[in-house]
Structure 1
Amino acid sequence: MHSFSALLRAVLLVTVTSASASSFFRIPLTKLTPPSSYLAGLPDADRTRAAFLKNFVSGGPTTVPASNLAYVQYTTSVGVGSPPTYYNLVVDTGSSNTFVGTGTKYVQTSTSIFTGEDVNVTYGSGYFSGLEYLDQVTLAPGFVITNQSIGDALSYADFEGVDGIVGVGPVILTEGTLSPSTNELIPTVMNNALSQGLIAEQILGVSFAPATSYNDTNGALTYGGIDSSLYTGEITYTPVTATYPAGYYWGVNVTDATYGSATTVIPKSTAGIVDTGTTLVLLADDFFESYLRAIPGAKIDPSTGLMTVPTKSVSEIQPLNFTIGGTVFSMDAAAQLIPIDQNTEWGLPANKQYGVVSYLGTNSGEGLDFIIGQKFMEKYYAVFDTDSNRVGFAYTEHTFTTYTP
C-alpha cells in the first residue's frame, strides 16, 4: 500500500450483482476528523509509494459501504473479534496484510488467537509492526470470516485519522512480512472468504465517485462479484501484466495514452498498476513531461509537488486518454483537476488551480511506468478478478462531467 502518511486512499462502497435493496448491508461508520495538515505531503507520499511498489447469499456477492475521507482515500468499517470492535480501515489493492491499531486499539476477545509471529510491513514512507493474531472478522452482517490473520499495530507511522488497512492485493505481497515464518503467505480476507464459502468467486468490485464533502460515504465494495447498477455498458477486461514488478500487484498494460488528439503521452504498450491506495494518477517522468508541455503554462509547484494550471488554460484542458484492453478510458477536465473549493482541505493555497496527474519519480522502462490511482477510479468502475487474473473497467454516470472551478 502506499505510504499512507499525509494522504489517503480509496473509496469503496460495496454492492451486489443483481442486488435488491435488502442486499445492501450497513455497518456503523465513525465520522473521522483528521488534522488539517493531513494532505500537505500528498504528491511526495504517492511518489514514495510508487517507488516502494517498483443480498448476502451464501457464496454470493456482498456489498458494503465505504467513505471517502478528506477527498483522498477510502475507508470501510470492519469488525474484529466477538463481540466485534469496529475499525475504519483503508481499502488497499496495493497491499495484502490486514491490520488494526493505528487509531482505535486492537481489542482482544475470546476469538483472538496469538500466532506467535511478529509482523512488519513497510508502505513507502509509512509502516507498521506488531503481533499477528487469528481472529473473527465481520465485513457485513452475516458475512463473518473466522481465523483471519490480523496484525496488531504496536508501532507505526503515517496513519493519521484511520485505524489500519484491509489489504485486498495479491496474496504474494504478504510474503516476508512475518517473523520467524518469513516464507509464509498470509491468506487475505478475499482468500478466506472464498475458502469458507462466503463468496463463490474471488472478485472485488470497486465503485468510487467524486466526493462532495470532507467525509462522504459515496463508495461501494462488492466482495465476491460486481454490481451492474454501478456501471454502464460492458466491462473491459485486461490480463494482469507479466512485466516485473508491476505483475506482482494489480498490474496492467496500457497500449498507449494521448492528451487530446495531437499529443502522445505513452507511445507504446507499457506496464503499470491499478491502486486504490494511491490518490493521484502518476506517470513516468518522461511521459509526464509530454503531458505537462501540452498544457499552456502548466508547471510543477515546488512547494506542493502538484501541477498548477493557469486560469486561462483551464477551459482548454483536453482529455487524457488511456487505451486499456482495446478500449479508450478518458480523464476529462473534471477528472484531471482538483476543484478549487477543495484546496484548503488539501492544504493548498486558495484560488489556484491544481491537477491530479503528476510524475512518478522515475523514467519509463523500469517495469512500473504508471499508477492508476483513486482519481481515475472515481470516474470508472473497477473490477479486481483473482480467479481469472485480470482487471476490468467500465464507464459510470460520473465518467464525463462538466468542470466548474
Structure 2
Amino acid sequence: MQSFSALLSAVILATSASAFISMPLTKLAPPAGSYLAGLPDADRARAAFLKSFAASGPTTVPASNLAYVQYTTSVGVGSPPTYYNLVVDTGSSNTFVGTGTKYVQTSTSIFTGEDVNVTYGSGYFSGLEYFDQVTLAPGFVITNQSIGDALSYADFEGVDGIVGVGPVILTEGTLSPDTDELIPTVMNNALSQGLIQEEILGVSFAPATSYNDTNGALTYGGIDSSLYIGEITYTPVTATYPAGYYWGINVTDATYGSAGAETTVIPTSTAGIVDTGTTLVLLADNFFDSYMKAIPGAKLDESTGLMTVPASSVSEIQPLNFTVGGTVFSMDAAAQLIPTDQNTAWGLSANKQYGVVSYLGTNSGEGLDFIIGQKFMENFYAVFDTDSNRVGFAYT
C-alpha cells in the first residue's frame, strides 16, 4: 500500500508558483523543426472537422475519486483514441499523458518540434509536445490539442497524466525552444472550436465510499443544476499575486465554531486558490495554528504532516466556516476528518483520527495564504468561469 506522502505526491499539490517554471533537465533530442511544424495541415484538418459541428450546450462526464486523494477522468487521445486516466487539475494547465499508459501515436499525431517540461509542487514531467485529437466525451472531440508525451517523470503513481484546466498563463515557459509560447488548454480549444458556448467548468466531487469511487462529475461548457441546491455564490478571481495566476479568490474571513462561540482562523480578507489537484485544505501556518488550538488536544503529527485529534475531542468538533462572496460555506465535523476506515489506504496509523485541514508551509501575507482543495470541494459544487473571471460555490 502506498504511504500518504506517496499518494499526496500523486495528487501533485499542483499549487506551487513554480508550476510554470522549467526544471533544468537533460535536453531531449527530438527531430529538427519548430513549434509550428505541420501546422498548415493541422489547420486544414481542423477546418474540415469544424464544418460538422455547431456550438453545443454543456457536456457532463464522470470523474472518479481514486485512492481517496485525487479525482481523475477518462480522456481519449488519437484516432482511434487510446483512453488515459488523467488527474483533473485546476492548478495547472498543461495536458499530458504517458506516466502510466504510454502515448500511442496515430494518424492525428503531429510533432510540434518542441520539448515540454513542467514542475509541480511535487513531481515533474518532461517529454515532447504534439498536436493530437482529444476526446473528452462521446461526440466531444477537440482537434489539434497540444499535449505532452511524458518521457521522464516522477510522482504520478496510478495515473496516466493530467488534464490541465487552470488559466492558460500557467503554460508559459513550459515549451522549449519557444519558451514564450502559451499552450491553449482543452477548455480554450473547446470554445474556439465551437464545442461549448461558454468557457466554464463545473466540478462536482463527493466523499468517497470505496478506493476507486466514480462519484464525481465534470461539466464542460457550463453548470449542471442537478448537482447543487440553492444559488451559486460567485466571487472574482483575485488580483493578488501570486494567487491571481491561478484560480485564486479572496476569502473574507474564516472562523471555527458556532455563532457566539467562534474562534477566528482567518481574521481579514486574504487571497488563496481553489485547486482540484490538492487533496487537503491548507491554511497559512499562523491560520492553521489558530484552528488547531481551538480543538482540545489536537496536535500535528510530524511524520505525516497531518493534524491528529484525540478520541475525546472528535464528537466535539465544530464547523469550520469560510466566508466567500458574502456567503458562509461550512465544513462540518465529518468534512474535517479522514474516516478512520480509510487510514490504511492513506498509509496512516489505524488507531488515530486525522484531519484534512493542514498547514501551508508559510505564514500569511505572501499572496497565497490558503488552498481550498478536494476535501472542501467534496462538500460544495464548484464553478470555474473563465468568461467572467470568477469562481463559484454552491451547497450540494
Pick the TM interval, shorter chain: 0.7 to 0.9
TM-fit CA distance, 1:51? 44
Contact 2:19/2:92, CA 8 A, preserved across alignment = no
Partner of 1:146: 143
SS at match of 2:8: coil
The higher radius of gyration belongs to 2
Q: What SS does the aligned partner of 2:7 have? A: coil
Partner residue of 2:21 out of 12, 20, 25: 25
Aligned match for 1:116, one of 113, 124, 133: 113
Q: Residue in 2 aligned with 1:267?
A: 267
Helix, strand or coil for the counterpart of 1:338? coil
CA distance in 1, matches of 2:287, 2:22: 42
- In structure 1, distance between residues paired with 2:93 and 2:211: 27
Contact 2:278 2:374 in 1 (8 A): yes
CA distance in 2, matches of 1:34, 1:210: 43
SS in 2 for 1:8: helix
Contact 2:89-2:277 at 8 Å conserved across structures: yes
- How far is the alpha carbon of 1:32 from its aligned partner? 30
- 2:17 and 2:180 mapped to 1: Cα distance? 44
Change (3 A) 1:39 1:309: farther
Q: Displacement of 1:351 after TM fit?
A: 1.9
Partners of 2:176 and 2:329 in 1: how far apart? 42
Pick closer, same or farther for the CA change 1:203–1:89 going to 2, 3 Å: same
**Residue 365 (structure 1) shift:** 0.1
Q: Counterparts of 2:289 and 2:221 in 1: how far apart (Å)?
A: 40
Work out whether residues 78 and 104 of structure 2, in 8 Å CA contact, stay in contact via their aligned partners in 1. yes
TM-superposition CA deviations, 1:226-248 (whole Å, max 9, x none)? 00000000000000000000000
CA contact (8 A) 1:10 1:276 kept: no
Q: Which residue does the alignment assign to 2:194?
A: 197
Deviation, structure 1 residue 8: 5.4
Q: Does the Cα contact within 8 Å between 2:30 and 2:113 map onto a contact in 1?
A: no
Quick one: structure 1 residues 27 and 291, their matched pair in 2 at CA, closer, same or farther if it must change by over 3 Å? closer
Identity %: 90
Q: How big is the shift at 1:223? A: 0.2
Query: 1:22/1:370 Cα in 2 relative to 1: closer, same or farther (>3 Å)?
Result: closer
Shift of 1:132: 0.2
Question: Is the Cα–Cα contact under 8 Å of residues 42 and 144 in structure 2 kept in the other structure?
Answer: no
Q: Which moved more, 1:53-62 or 1:39-48?
A: 39-48
Aligned positions of 1:196-215 closer than 5 A:
196-215=193-212
Answering whether residue 322 of structure 2 is matched by residue 326 of structure 1, we say: no
Determine the C-alpha separation between the residues in 2 that align with 1:245 and 1:23: 11
Q: Distance in 1 between matches of 2:358 and 2:109?
A: 43
Give the conservation status (yes or no) of the 8 Å contact 2:89–2:166.
yes
- Could you give the per-residue CA deviations for residues 203-251 of structure 1, whole angstroms, max 9, x where no partner exists? 0000000000000000000000000000000000000000000000000
- 8 Å Cα contact 1:199-1:224 kept in structure 2: yes
Deviation at 1:302, TM superposition (A): 1.3
- Closer, same or farther in 2 for the Cα pair 1:304/1:24, shift >3 Å? closer
Report the Cα distance in structure 1 between the residues aligned to 2:299 and 2:43, rounded to whole angstroms: 18
**Cα deviation, residue 168, structure 1:** 0.1
On the 8 A contact 1:26/1:64 being kept in 2, the answer is no
Q: Report the alpha carbon displacement of residue 39 of structure 1 after superposing the two structures with TM.
A: 40
Query: Cα deviations across residues 317-340 of structure 1 (Å, max 9, x unaligned)?
Result: 000000000000000000000000
Cα distance change, pair 242–293 in 1 and its aligned pair in 2 (3 A)? same
Q: Give, in whole Å, the separation in 2 of the partners of 1:90 and 1:9.
A: 12
Match in the other structure for 1:131: 128
Note the C-alpha offset of 1:42: 41
For 1:44 and 1:259, how far apart are their aligned partners in 2? 58
Q: Measured at CA, do residues 266 and 19 of structure 1 come closer, stay the same or move farther in structure 2, by a change above 3 Å?
A: closer
TM-score, structure 2 as length reference: 0.86
Change (3 A) 1:367 1:25: closer
Cα displacement (A) at 1:303 = 1.5
* Residue aligned with 2:47, SS: helix
- What are the superposed Cα offsets for residues 283-314 of structure 1, whole Å, 9 maximum, x if unpaired? 00000000010000000011111100000000
Q: Please state how far the C-alpha of 1:25 moved relative to its aligned partner.
A: 36
* 1:44 Cα deviation after fit: 46
Assess if the C-alpha contact under 8 Å between 1:255 and 1:269 holds in 2.
yes
CA distance in 1, matches of 2:58, 2:156: 30
In structure 2, the CA distance between the partners of 1:259 and 1:277, relative to structure 1 (3 Å rule), is same
Q: Distance in 2 between matches of 1:35 and 1:117?
A: 9
Once the two structures are TM-superposed, the CA of residue 78 in structure 1 deviates from its matched residue by: 0.3
Distance 1:53 1:296 in 2: 61
Give the 3 Å change call, closer, same or farther, for CA 11–357 of structure 1 in structure 2: same
CA contact (8 A) 1:12 1:219 kept: no
- Cα pair distance change 1:323/1:271, threshold 3 Å: same
- Report the alpha carbon displacement of residue 59 of structure 1 after superposing the two structures with TM: 2.3
Q: Report the alpha carbon displacement of residue 345 of structure 1 after superposing the two structures with TM.
A: 0.3
Residues matched between the structures, number: 391
How far apart, CA to CA, are the structure 1 residues paired with 2:144 and 2:36? 35
* Counterparts in 2 of 1:41 and 1:298: CA distance versus 1, 3 Å: farther
Quickly say closer, same or farther: Cα 1:30–1:130, change in 2 above 3 A.
closer
Separation in 2 of the partners of 1:252 and 1:19?
14
- Superimposed CA distance per residue, residues 125-151 of structure 1 (whole angstroms, 9 cap, x where no aligned partner): 200000000000000110000000010
Does the 8 A contact of 1:90 with 1:165 survive in 2?
A: yes
Assess, with a 3 A threshold, how the Cα gap between structure 1 residues 131 and 39 changes in structure 2: closer, same or farther: closer
SS at match of 2:5: coil
Structure 1 residues without counterparts, runs of 5 or longer? 395-402
Runs of 4+ in structure 1 over 3 Å off: 1-5, 8-13, 18-58
Aligned residues of 1:28 and 1:86 also touching (Cα < 8 A): no
CA deviation profile, 1:91-136 (whole Å, cap 9, x unmatched): 0000000000000000000000000000000012200000000000
Measured in 2, the distance between the counterparts of 1:314 and 1:326 equals 29
SS in 1 for 2:26: coil
